[in-house]
Structure 1
Amino acid sequence: MQAMTVRPGSAGTLRVDDMGEPRPGPDDLLVDGLAVGVCGTDKEIVSGRYGWAPAGRDRLVIGHESLGRVTEAPPGSSFHTGDLVVGVVRRPDPVPCRACARGEFDMCRNGRYTERGIKEIDGYGAQRWCVEADYAITIDERLADVGVLMEPTTVVAKAWEQVWRIGQRAYFEPERALITGAGPVGLLAAMLSVQRGLDTHVLDRVTDGPKPGIVAALGATYHHDDIDTVAARLQPDVVIEATGAGPVVFGAIANTSTYGIVCLTGVSAAGRGLKIDAGAVNRELVLENDAVVGSVNANLRHYRQAADALARADKDWLAGLITRRVPLHRAADAFTAEPGDVKVIVTLDGSD
């Protein structure tokens, strides 16, 4: 069996290794891997800036955006041979903290959680893998070609849940949403916005390539002007921020409607300075009852929400997000950006 591995903390160590076959425990599924998605976190791990190997080892199997097919399932479980599944990324911390003890492990309070393919547990970037039945989610068979989009969809399912919960502090009937960033997370956030019936707008800096067409096919409006111009004109009720770029973040915060909500999902690079009028930002947040919230990761509830959202989506539209499929033996190619990339995946089943 082959798998993508790296030595966390060391750049240039990505390789495809021969490994022993996984041995499922009594409560585990054995799964044939079909594909894994490549995202910014994976690229940070490969570049040596992030990631932790399992205890007692120096290499980590990467890949947290999973898709596979069950080959063995525990007796009495709800899973069957042939089921299309994804594996949940995060596991609760062992203490557990009060959030993890209640199943809200995406909100872990002490940082002792672990994550498949990221933090101390091998990931799903292997031809075969095991996953606890309690941390696997079945998805619609019609999504076999695009189900690898499940994990990034969970991220925005949680983001939208956070927005709705905050909005319910008072009267809340949003009409217009602005999504900043037209990468996979931004586009999937826009998809959920459209499914909620909102007038949806997407802002990205590119003017060519597939992104404008993908947004148009969704029934949303694409913009490429600066954030202050676009947001000031739109006055969105909700902003899902998916770039992590400082000027975009603060431009969005400064230009929502009254009682606006900005949900930050993009992770900013450290060390970049930005001069802002902190007093003006504070004044607007207070006087307009605005809210800004950060959101990361997902729990089991969000995986189920994502599975429902993908099942309702246009499959052809989802397929348009996957712009490059790289076979496992050429996995390194997936970590080098090419013009027109939106979502790049590594196929694990021998398909090109």
Structure 2
Amino acid sequence: MKAVAVIPGQANSIHLAELPKPSIHEVPNGRGVLVHVLRVGVDGTDKEINAAEYGQAPPGYEFLVIGHECFGRVLEVGANVWELAPGDYVVPTVRRPGCSFYDRIGQYDMTSEDIYYERGINLRHGYLTEQFVDDPEYLVKIPKGLKDVAVLLEPASIIEKGIIQAHEAQRRFKVWRPKKAAVLGAGTVGLLAALSLKMKGFDVTSFGKQFGVSPNLDLLEALGVRYVSTNDLSIREAAKRFGPFDLMFEATGYSPVVFE
């Protein structure tokens, strides 16, 4: 079975690899689900892994199959799988549990361990392959009406987690009623963040270096999001004009920009 992989620690090592065809029996207790991959998103994380900035191969392998944004269709299920059936559409999650307290209660993304496990990122093969097998715990069933956009569920989940964490941190004050939000970065994650915040009722200002005509800026305008090019106006000055911002979402990949 073909897969796209990199050799961790070796820059620009992306290549076509071979994997054994997976079987539902790889998951114990009759809980295996065989999934045929339909779509995989490739993003900056995959680029950074191919540049050897991070990522480790699973035990017993010299390569790491990349791909963590995935959409597929169930081909076969084990005898004790009741949540899914052949023909169902699914999106797999990425993080897998380690040994910390948070891992044991299902909060894998909040692990306190130095070693973490993520499909296509660290110590677990990803989804840029023909098929994979997993436990239904890590598969999200997708309605047929969402199948054309479901591959975006993984990046959208990152955005929702960020917004939820902001609310969790602030709710202790009891009086926090956020109304204005700033999104730093107008790439794919920035667009999804702006869309999510706009749908939640925020007055959203998006910051980026782009100016003129571009598909991203057209989308922001269609969403009713204010766009500010930092080539024309600094974040500090824009905050004075359009803020103060109750929530700032950093989507540039360079977090210190938030503190400008």
TM-score (norm 1): 0.68
Distance 1:36 1:127, change over 3 A: same
1:82 corresponds to 2:87: yes
CA distance in 1, matches of 2:240, 2:126: 42
CA distance in 1, matches of 2:36, 2:55: 24
| Aligned position for 1:18 | 18
Shift of 1:12: 2.3
1:249 corresponds to 2:249: no
| Aligned position for 2:219 | 214
Is the contact between residue 248 and residue 258 of structure 2 (CA under 8 Å) also seen in structure 1? no
Is the contact between residue 2 and residue 17 of structure 2 (CA under 8 Å) also seen in structure 1? yes
1:191 corresponds to 2:195: yes
Q: Which amino acid aligns with 2:247?
A: V
| Aligned position for 1:5 | 5
String of CA shifts for 1:191-228, please: whole Å, max 9, x gaps: 11112111111111101321111111222111113212
Range that drifts further, 186-195 or 19-28? 19-28
CA distance in 1, matches of 2:57, 2:44: 18
String of CA shifts for 1:235-263, please: whole Å, max 9, x gaps: 11111111133662212xxxxxxxxxxxx
| Aligned position for 1:239 | 248
String of CA shifts for 1:245-287, please: whole Å, max 9, x gaps: 3662212xxxxxxxxxxxxxxxxxxxxxxxxxxxxxxxxxxxx
Matched residue SS, 2:39: strand
Q: Which amino acid aligns with 2:200?
A: R
Shift of 1:131: 1.6
Partner of residue 46 from structure 2, selected from 42, 46, 57: 42
| Aligned position for 2:75 | 71
CA distance in 1, matches of 2:52, 2:40: 20
Q: Which amino acid aligns with 2:84?
A: F
CA distance in 2, matches of 1:246, 1:18: 37
Q: Which amino acid aligns with 1:244?
A: G
Which 5+ residue runs of structure 1 have no aligned equivalent? 252-352
CA distance in 2, matches of 1:202, 1:73: 44
Partner of residue 151 from structure 2, selected from 148, 153, 173: 148
Is the contact between residue 178 and residue 246 of structure 2 (CA under 8 Å) also seen in structure 1? yes
Shift of 1:159: 0.3
Matched residue SS, 2:91: strand
CA distance in 2, matches of 1:156, 1:40: 15
Runs of 4+ deviating beyond 6 Å: none
| Aligned position for 1:230 | 238
Matched residue SS, 1:164: helix
Q: Which amino acid aligns with 2:252?
A: T
CA distance in 2, matches of 1:146, 1:18: 29
TM-score (norm 2): 0.91
Matched residue SS, 1:236: coil
Q: Which amino acid aligns with 1:142?
A: G
Q: Which amino acid aligns with 2:95?
A: R
Is the contact between residue 7 and residue 13 of structure 2 (CA under 8 Å) also seen in structure 1? yes
1:180-329 alignment runs, 5 A limit = 180-207=184-211, 208-225=213-230, 226-234=234-242, 235-245=244-254, 248-251=257-260
String of CA shifts for 1:106-153, please: whole Å, max 9, x gaps: 111122331101111110111111121111101221222221101101
Matched residue SS, 1:216: helix
Q: Percent identity?
A: 38
Shift of 1:169: 1.3
Matched residue SS, 1:32: strand
Partner of residue 173 from structure 1, selected from 167, 170, 177: 177
Q: Which amino acid aligns with 1:109?
A: S
1:139 corresponds to 2:147: no
Which 5+ residue runs of structure 2 have no aligned equivalent? none
